[in-house]
């Protein structure tokens, strides 16, 4: 693999969610350790599953992977890092100030911006020559899905610039206390990221047009901030032989359709990616969990044995149409699709929105994902069909600018020039985005009181940070109201109300996405939010195929689908992998067409 030829000290694996970044990062770390290198594998994903891949509890500490000599791993836990950060700030004043004041400080430090700052501190420390990293030849970063990664890699410049301009006294959620002391560390991190002798970015994609377009945008955004040493890896490519049946006499319809889509995507790869060194990794028949699977990922595999009976056993499971029927019965409400990146949340959100609009309901389809592009899934307007469907997006840049203009026109209107200049500096803090996005999220939640709002959320970790901000607002509002007797209805209370909000967890029938969805469900339940349903998307077990490789993958799915039905979900549905890519209203409607599958 060219992306592992003469590797520099820092290797970053990034890309759209669900393309296999974690698997490839882990396999690369194993391969480098096998040639005698000392490797530190680091996950910067708020919803890291590196520990699941190795079957080892890792967490927010450097942990040796005993089965792989020379390999250690670390999962940067944003919540644990934020707690350490809070303790560092609150500890010295805890016994000096009144308890009410201390609680107010703690509440100010409970926002997502504090979490971001704390995780950023840990991330930049790993880019420096220090006692912490001195013993490692290579540090391999498994990053969060694209939007979150770009935000993280831009932070060294954002915080350095903010401090350089002397704007370290912002009064936003998650105060910037302590950042000034880190100026030298942040500057060194910027230098390390921009140095091609020290840093290489590996862009991971699938052979899909939308994913390759996303990678092209990522390439340009990262190059613009100085990270130009980039390689491209196209993962999970279906080999030509996989389209044949057992006798090799005829092409399998589903496998052939997948193959055509992939070849068309690779033939029309964006021009900006054509100059990058590129590797292809073949689709494997096994789940990428465990050391044996990792060692087989970057190599060719032997012919696949798949018993014929696998193809002839129909999967009996509820379909998406049955869930939409229940959603429609309420007449309005917020439907939030959540889960790991790359599981198809955008597609399913668009399919549900189109079906509800076709039934005559007013629908607002929106997304909180910084890297989402709903227009690439729903490519045409429903005007002229009688359907009312509005498509929107919580764009952090747009919302931040809107928030700044509002504050300047209200709070800033009565200030003198000096006061207004100070306010403008405050609003240039990177933390301002947190408040702006939260306010946009709150507006959308309120809108669901009279219409259907279908929200495609950001990948798991980013969504949890947004919900953290929602919870922080709820706690602060409750504290301020106290016993005043005023009626309270915060956004968090609406999310907790099953009559107002239906949370649908989306997963694939693969080990890691199911485990991550189960973890997300536990996190939501601790916040008082009970997921309404699960959807197992892109299922081969629900499709029909004669391809030995696809049949073996279908067989692997059944145990996981049973686990969803019996252990995790109150209600669930399974959506088959489609022959045609679900883009455009007609193809989306196929996902919500009743198949006659039995209900639970």
Q: Vertex 21, ends 34 and 581: CA angle to 5°?
A: 135
Q: Name the nearest CA neighbour of 312 among 549, 546, 509, 547.
A: 546
What b/e string do you get for 572-581 counting C-beta neighbours within 10 Å, with b at 16 or more? bbbbbbbbeb
Select which of 512, 539, 545, 547 is catalytic.
512
Phi, psi of 199 (to 5 degrees): -130, 135
Pairing between strand 333-338 and 278-282? Answer: unpaired
Is residue 274 annotated as a catalytic residue, yes or no? no
Given the residues 28, 43, 44, 45, select the one marked as catalytic: 45
Distance CA 43, CA 393 (A): 28
Tokens at 150, concatenated = 């770009």
Q: For residue 63, give both structure tokens.
A: 């942990």
Query: Quick check: is 45 catalytic?
Result: yes
The residue annotated as part of the active site, out of 14, 15, 22, 502, is 22
Choose, from 21, 284, 340, 502, the residue flagged as catalytic: 21
* Continuous segment of H or E residues that includes residue 22: helix 21-34
From the list 14, 15, 23, 77, the catalytic residue is 23
- The SS3 of residue 119 is helix
Neighbour count for residue 194 (Cβ, 10 Å):
16
Phi, psi for 150 (deg, rounded to 5): -60, -40
Active-site residue, 21 included: yes
Cα-Cα-Cα-Cα dihedral of 33, 36, 42, 43, to 10°?
A: -10
**Paired residues of 365 in beta bridges:** 391, 454
Backbone angles phi, psi at 530, to 5 degrees: -100, 110
Look up 482 and say whether it is catalytic: no
Residue 512 annotated among the catalytic residues of the structure: yes
**Which of 14, 16, 17, 18 is an active site residue?**
18
Q: Quick check: is 384 catalytic?
A: no
Distance CA 40, CA 74 (A): 7
Q: How far apart are CA 321 and CA 344, in angstroms?
A: 16
Told to judge if 20 belongs to the known catalytic residues of this protein, a careful annotator would answer: yes
Catalytic site residues?
A: 18, 20-23, 45, 512
């Amino acid at each position: 693999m060219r992306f592992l030829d003469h590797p520099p000290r820092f290797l970053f694996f990034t890309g759209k969610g669900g393309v296999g970044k974690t698997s490839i990062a882990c396999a690369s770390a194993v391969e480098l350790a096998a040639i005698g290198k000392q490797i530190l594998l680091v996950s910067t994903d708020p919803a890291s599953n590196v520990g699941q891949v190795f079957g080892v509890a890792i967490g927010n500490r450097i942990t040796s992977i005993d089965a792989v000599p020379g390999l250690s791993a670390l999962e940067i836990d944003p919540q644990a890092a934020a707690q350490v950060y809070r303790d560092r700030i609150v500890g010295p004043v805890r016994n000096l100030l009144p308890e009410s004041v201390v609680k107010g400080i703690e509440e100010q430090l409970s926002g997502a911006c504090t979490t971001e700052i704390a995780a950023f501190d840990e991330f930049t420390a790993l880019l420096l020559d220090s006692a912490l990293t001195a013993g490692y030849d290579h540090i391999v970063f498994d990053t969060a899905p694209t939007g979150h990664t770009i935000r993280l890699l831009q932070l060294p410049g954002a915080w350095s610039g903010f401090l350089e301009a002397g704007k370290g006294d912002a009064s936003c959620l998650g105060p910037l206390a302590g950042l000034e002391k880190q100026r030298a560390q942040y500057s060194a991190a910027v230098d390390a990221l921009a140095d091609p002798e020290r840093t290489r970015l590996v862009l991971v994609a699938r052979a899909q047009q939308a994913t390759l377009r996303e990678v092209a945008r990522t390439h340009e955004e990262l190059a613009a901030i100085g990270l130009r040493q980039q390689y491209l890896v196209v993962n999970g490519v279906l080999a030509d032989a996989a389209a044949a049946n057992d006798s090799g006499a005829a092409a399998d319809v589903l496998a052939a359709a997948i193959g055509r889509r992939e070849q068309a995507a690779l033939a029309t790869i964006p021009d900006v990616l054509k100059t990058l060194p590129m590797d292809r990794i073949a689709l494997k028949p096994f789940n990428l969990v465990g050391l044996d699977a990792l060692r087989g990922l970057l190599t060719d595999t032997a012919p696949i044995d798949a018993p014929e009976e696998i193809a002839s056993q129909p999967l009996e499971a509820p379909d998406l149409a049955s869930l939409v029927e229940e959603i429609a019965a309420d007449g309005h409400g917020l439907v939030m699709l959540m889960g790991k990146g790359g599981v198809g949340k955008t597609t399913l959100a668009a399919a549900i929105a189109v079906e509800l609009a076709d039934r005559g309901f007013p629908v607002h389809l929106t997304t909180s994902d910084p890297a989402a592009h709903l227009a690439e899934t729903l490519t045409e307007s429903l005007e002229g069909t009688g359907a009312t469907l509005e498509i929107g997006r919580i764009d952090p840049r747009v919302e931040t600018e809107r928030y700044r203009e509002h504050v300047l026109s209200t709070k800033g209107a009565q200030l003198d020039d000096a006061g207004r200049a100070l306010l403008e500096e405050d609003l240039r803090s990177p933390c301002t985005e947190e408040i702006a996005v939260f306010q946009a999220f709150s507006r959308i939640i309120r809108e669901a009181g009279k219409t259907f709002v279908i929200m495609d959320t950001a990948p798991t970790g980013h969504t949890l940070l947004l919900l953290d901000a929602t919870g922080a607002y709820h706690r602060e509002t409750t504290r301020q109201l106290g016993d005043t007797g005023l009626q309270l209805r915060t956004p968090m209370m609406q999310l907790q109300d099953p009559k107002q909000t239906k949370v649908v967890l989306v997963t694939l029938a693969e080990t890691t996405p199911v485990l991550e969805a189960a973890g997300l469900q536990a996190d939501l339940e601790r916040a008082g939010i009970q997921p309404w349903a699960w959807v197992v998307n892109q299922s081969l077990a629900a499709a029909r195929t004669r391809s030995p490789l696809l049949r073996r993958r279908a067989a692997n799915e059944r145990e996981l689908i049973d686990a969803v039905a019996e252990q995790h979900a109150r209600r669930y549905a399974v959506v088959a992998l489609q022959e045609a890519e679900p883009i455009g209203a007609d193809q989306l409607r196929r996902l919500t067409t009743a198949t006659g599958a039995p209900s639970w």
